[in-house]
Copies of this chain bind each other. A is one copy, B any other.
Amino acid sequence: MMEQLQNQLIDWRRDFHKYPELGFLEMRTASIVADTLEKLGFDLLLGKEVMEPTSCMGKPGADDTRSHIEWARANGAIEKYIPHFEDGFTAVVGVLDSNTPGPTVAYRVDMDALPIYESESDDHLPNQEGFRSSNNNMHACGHDVHTAVGLGLARLISENKENIRGRIKLIFQPAEEGARGAKSMVDAGVVDDVDYFIASHIGLGVHFNHFVASNNGFLASSKLDVKFTGDSSHAGGHPEEGKNAMLAAAAAVSNLHSIPRHADGATRINVGELHSGSGRNIIPDTAELKMELRGETTVLNEYMKNYAEEIIKGAALMHQVDYEIDLVGEAIEAKGSPELAEILKESADNIGLTSILEDNSAAGSEDATYFIDTVQKRGGYATYCVFGTELAAGHHNERFDTHEDSLMTSVQVLFDSAKALTHE
How would residues 281 to 306 of chain A score, 1 for a CB under 8 Å from any chain B CB and 0 otherwise? 11110010011101000000001000
Chain A: interface residue count, which band?
35 or more
CB interface residues, A 292-343, toward B, < 8 Å: 292, 294, 303, 307, 310-311, 313-320
CB interface residues, A 257-302, toward B, < 8 Å: 257-258, 260-264, 266-284, 287, 290-292, 294
Interface residue from B277, B282, B290, B294 paired with A277 (Cβ < 8 Å): B290
Q: Contacts A257-B247, A310-B317, A320-B310 known; A280 to B223 CB distance under 8 Å?
A: yes
A376 at the interface (CB under 8 A from B): no
Q: Contacts A250-B250, A254-B255 known; A363 to B237 CB distance under 8 Å?
A: yes
Q: Which residues of B contact A269 (CB under 8 A)?
A: 235, 261
Copies in the complex: 4
A219 at the interface (CB under 8 A from B): yes
Q: Which residues of B contact A219 (CB under 8 A)?
A: 236
How would residues 337 to 369 of chain A score, 1 for a CB under 8 Å from any chain B CB and 0 otherwise? 000000000000000000000000001110000
- Nearest B residue to A225, CB-CB: B280
Q: Which residues of B contact A120 (CB under 8 A)?
A: none
B235–A292 touching, CB < 8 Å: yes
A271–B263 touching, CB < 8 Å: no
- Nearest B residue to A313, CB-CB: B317
Q: Which residues of B contact A249 (CB under 8 A)?
A: 250, 274
C-alpha spacing A367/B287, complex, angstroms: 31
- Nearest B residue to A283, CB-CB: B270
Q: Which residues of B contact A303 (CB under 8 A)?
A: 240
**A interface list, Cβ under 8 A from B:** 178, 219, 221, 223, 234-240, 242, 244, 246-247, 249-251, 253-255, 257-258, 260-264, 266-284, 287, 290-292, 294, 303, 307, 310-311, 313-320, 363-365
Q: List 8 A-B contacts (CB under 8 A).
A: A235-B292, A240-B263, A251-B254, A271-B284, A272-B282, A273-B276, A277-B290, A314-B319
Which 3 pairs show the lowest CB-CB distances between chains A and B?
A314-B318, A257-B258, A235-B270
